[in-house]
Amino acid sequence: MTDYDLKRDVMVWLDLDDKLKAIRKKVRDMNKEKKAYEEKILTQLEKVKDNTIEVGDGKLSRNVTKSKGALKKEVIFKALNKLTKNDVKAKEMTTFILDSRPDVQKIKLKRSRNKKK
């Protein structure tokens, strides 16, 4: 790879990075707007005590999902403490569990911009 190839690759990468940044901002703005409409629609569905609206190609449904919260250090400690009824043992086990998690290494390019004065 020549210096010219490297410079060209860097310029293309920077151009793509700029374009992606603009697209992500637009998507973020559109998602905010969509969320506002979603809240209005859900409020109206709740008022009329209905869970679905027929639309041209199907339906919109009020959907409730449940999921487990994040597995945090405090959650692990409380569960182990409840199980063992021993603070010291629960703390040792919590530390062991957290230290046993594998490390994952990812290598990527990171762009940092000069601060404008």
Average per-residue pLDDT in the chain? 92
Domain span at residue 39? 1-56
> Is residue 15 located within the same domain as residue 44?
yes
> Is residue 16 located within the same domain as residue 36?
yes
Specify if 47 maps to a domain.
yes
Specify if 3 maps to a domain.
yes
Q: Is the distance from CB of 95 to CB of 82 less than 8 angstroms?
A: no
Specify if 107 maps to a domain.
no
> Is residue 42 located within the same domain as residue 14?
yes
Residues written for the chain: 117
Q: Averaged over 16-24, what is the pLDDT? A: 97
Note the pLDDT tens digit of each residue in 60-117: 988 889 999 888 999 999 999 999 999 999 999 999 999 999 999 988 888 888 887 7
> Is residue 50 located within the same domain as residue 12?
yes
Distance (Å, whole) CA 93 – CA 78: 11
> Is residue 52 located within the same domain as residue 91?
no
> Is residue 37 located within the same domain as residue 75?
no
Specify if 110 maps to a domain.
no
Report the largest interatomic distance among the alpha carbons of the chain, rounded to a whole angstrom: 68
Specify if 16 maps to a domain.
yes
pTM, 2 dp: 0.65
- Please tell me the total count of domains within the chain: 2
Tell me, letter by letter, the H, E, C secondary structure of 51-70: CEEEECCEEEECCCCCCCCC
